[in-house]
Structures are given as structure tokens and as C-alpha cells.
Amino acid sequence: MSPIVVIGAGLGGLATAIRLAAAGRDVTIVEAEQVPGGCCGTANTGEYRFDTGPSVLTMPDVLADVFAAAGEDMESVLPLRRLDPYYRLRYHDGSHLDVVPGEDAMIEQVRGLCGAAEADRYRRFRALLGELFAAEWPAFIDRDMTRLRNLARPRVLARLAALGGFRRLESLVESHLTDARLVKAHTFQALYVGLAPRQALGIYAVVAHMDTVGGVFFPRYGGMHAIPQAMAAVAEKAGAQIRYGVRAAKVETGPGGGVCAVRLDTGERLAAGHVVVACDLPRAHAGLLPETAYDWRLRRPRYSPSCLVLHFGLDRRLPGQAHHTLHIGRQWAATFAALKEGRPQPDPNLLVTYPETDGDAAPDGHATLTVLEPTTNLHGANDWDRLTPQLENRLFRRLADLGYGDLTTAPRLTFDPPAWARLGHSAGTPFALDHRFTQTAWFRPSGVARRVPGLHFAGMYTAPGVGVPPVLISGKLAAERVLGTSR
């Protein structure tokens, strides 16, 4: 069996490596940083530790399946806890909605905020979300989309159409729910796939199902960065070798056009019969990959919006604060229009994360707080040296008005689009390509290079796309393609 090199120890690369190593293959992971994680990173300032990547973990069974492939029980290597509430949504009129576990409990939350009639509508809408998810998951999300014929599933497509999956997301939700606050609670997730609710297809209502019905989870110890740490440990236990602090410089091909080696920035050459690229794909095409790996789908990439993220170290606790709080602004439609036009949002919706149970992230009696404001990516005509301080100052005022106090002197780390670009993210966005129809499923960059045998891809640039569960699935699909070949 020929050796395999995985480029990138992010979630996609680690998910690939675990399955391949567990199958007995010779696997080496090459990671430029000194720790695993990729986008699911970590950073410190003083005594405070922050998760610098995804803060929302859904579909834990997908993660458990990765560990199970290597014979490991997730509860033993990475115990999780279910958040309650999953989210707290605070609206500009002073009302709020807690998204909580359990259908009956959630219906009561809706009844208390919106009334009995809307609660009945919500019960029916919740069932619709389940039907959409049941149709999409096996057919298009948890499925290899490297061949066009895999997209041609007439019965499933007809079922999705009947359920409203090809309507616009906002229109679909508004046809079932009438309270604007409840509509927003089930359409803000469109930004996860880089689109406005009026632009995203109804099929992305499955994202609302994943977090409002399936639930949101968090590691019991070590924050979100504990996920790649646990995965890296399992990969090594299964036999994979991880090379930290070295960068892949070139994927080399042999006389037949297939991959034969990966050359490192140290000059070392790693022989390989398969290479799985699990890093920023447009940057990989800018020198790492052979020209024959070109994918027409990246000819005119459409990137997701980016974000301004401020991580604060607090000298106090926030009693009663939910783990995730979404503050909804007054100008709902205008915020999405501004992003589309490449302008700062006039009244942004804010995601505030308060990981109180991450016990060693802050000293006793202290805590951390992370605030995310969506922004345009670097393709917008903005002077970020000027704009970032302006957005920070506005954010300080907004947080003070929302009851978080004066945070101007608190220890903090700031990540803006230029910072994301310095970390290796194309267009200065950590959310890769958006999920418009022409960048979804088979239309998303392929998981395999047709003209370069042995070259595969995993991560958020490939199908199924952005988010922790899709990236983990991309690793599974890449491993299955490798194991299904004779190289």
C-alpha cells in the first residue's frame, strides 16, 4: 500500500487521517502550525484562553462516528455537554426567546413569546424541518458529490421541491410562521452558509433543524479546541504521524500524471501514492498544487462574508448569561443588504459567546467573552486600517448599551478580515465560499482532481461545505475515495 500524505491538521484533515490510519494505511499529516486545529484554533492573552474558530457544535453523532472508526468511544476521549438553552435570542424591543431542548419545552417558549396560535404553527413547522433534514441528509449531505450523477436523484429532488426546499429560505419560513421574531430565529442561520435569508434556498432550513432541534453542544473540558486535540491524539494512536511546524511546498506528480510525493519547505520529500489537501483551496492552487489539478469551479469564486471578532478577558462572571446569545438589531434587511454591497452593516446582529463552563479558560472568578459581528470580506472596497477601529468603538458602545459594561480596557484579541487573511484564509473570510446553488453539492469544488490520480480534497471548500459536521463528513468522503482505489 502506498503512503498517504494529508496536508493540514484541521478537522477535515484529521477526520481523513483517523479513518485511513484505522484502516491500516501509512499516513503522515503535515501541519504548518505547532498545534492541530486549523480553523478550530486557540489563542491566549495573558491568563485568558480563547477559541478562535467555530463556537457552535451540532450533530455530535458525526464527530462520534469519526472516533468510532478508530475504535474509540467519544465519551471517553471527548465528553460533551448539551447546552441549555442552545441559544438566547434578544430582540431590539426587549423581548427574548430561549431555544431549548425538547419539543414540548420549545413549544412552550414560543407560546410564551408569540401566543398559542403561533405555537401551533411552530409545531407544524418543526415537523417540516425534520422532513427536510430526513430528505437531504442521506442524499446530498452525507454523500459523495464528485460525480454529477450523484446529484441526479429525481425522487429526492421532487420531495425537496414539495417541501419548499427550492423556495427562498425567508419566504419558506414566512409561509409557516407569522411572528417576525420567530422567523428571524429560523433564518439567521443563512449567514452560516454565507447568504442572506432572502437569497439562500429553503434547503438550508436544515441548518436551523441541526441547531434548534438537534441541539448545540460544547466540550466539557478545554473548549472547542479540545476537539482537534482529541482527534489528533486518536489519529496518532491509530498510527498516523503528525509533523507540526512544517509546511507543504509542492505536490509532485510522476510520469503518469499521478501524485508521487509532497515536498516540504524544509526541502524534505515525502513519497506518496495519495495526497489529501485539507487546507485553503484557492491558496493551494496558487502554487502548492500542479497546474493539472485546476478546477473550473474556482474560476470565479464567490466568497462568504467575513467577520470582526473580539475576544475579551473579563475580571468578573456574568450571572444568568447564556452560552450563546444572539442580539438582533432593528434593521434586519438592511444588514444583509450592506454585506451584499460590501459595506459595513448599519445595525449588525451580534453573536455573543460566554463559555462559562470552560473552567481553565480564565482565572477563578473571571471569564471570557467573544463577540462576533458579520462584515464584508476583503473583496469589499474598505480601508480596514481605518474601519476596524471605527467598528470596534461602535461595538464597545453597543455592548455597553446591551448591559455588558465598559469593555474598552479589558484584555482583548481582535480578528478582522486582514487578520483572517494573515492566517491563510482567502478573501479574508474564515467561512470559505458561500453556498449559492452554483457552489453547492457537485457545483462546489470537487473532492478529487480528475486529471491527477491520487489527489483528493477535504475541508470546507469541498462538499458538503462549511460547518463542523460538513467538514468532518468531507474527511470521511475523502478517506472512502482513497480506500476505494488501488493505488
The pLDDT tens digits for 101-122 are 999 999 999 999 999 999 999 9
pLDDT at 348: 94
pLDDT at 153: 86
Burial 411-443 (b: 16+ CB within 10 A, else e): bbbebbbebbbebebbbbbbbbbbbeeebbbbb
How far, in Å, CA of 466 to CA of 218, rounded?
Answer: 18
Q: Are 410 and 170 in contact (CB under 8 A)?
A: no
If DSSP codes are grouped into helix, strand and coil, which group holds residue 389? helix
Q: Are 211 and 75 in contact (CB under 8 A)?
A: no
Q: Checking DSSP bridges between strand 217-219 and strand 80-82, what pairing results, if any?
A: antiparallel
| Ramachandran class of 465: left when φ > 0, alpha when ψ lies in -120 to 50, beta otherwise | left
- Give the domains, in start order, of the chain with CATH numbers: 4-41+57-72+223-301+433-483 (3.50.50.60), 106-213 (no CATH), 304-428 (no CATH)
pLDDT at 381: 87
pLDDT at 486: 66
pLDDT at 350: 97
The pLDDT tens digits for 429-486 are 999 999 999 999 999 999 999 999 999 999 999 999 999 999 999 999 999 999 998 6
Q: Are 165 and 156 in contact (CB under 8 A)?
A: no
pLDDT at 263: 98
Residue spans of the chain under pLDDT 70: 486
How far, in Å, CA of 203 to CA of 164, rounded?
Answer: 8
Diameter of the chain measured on Cα atoms: 70
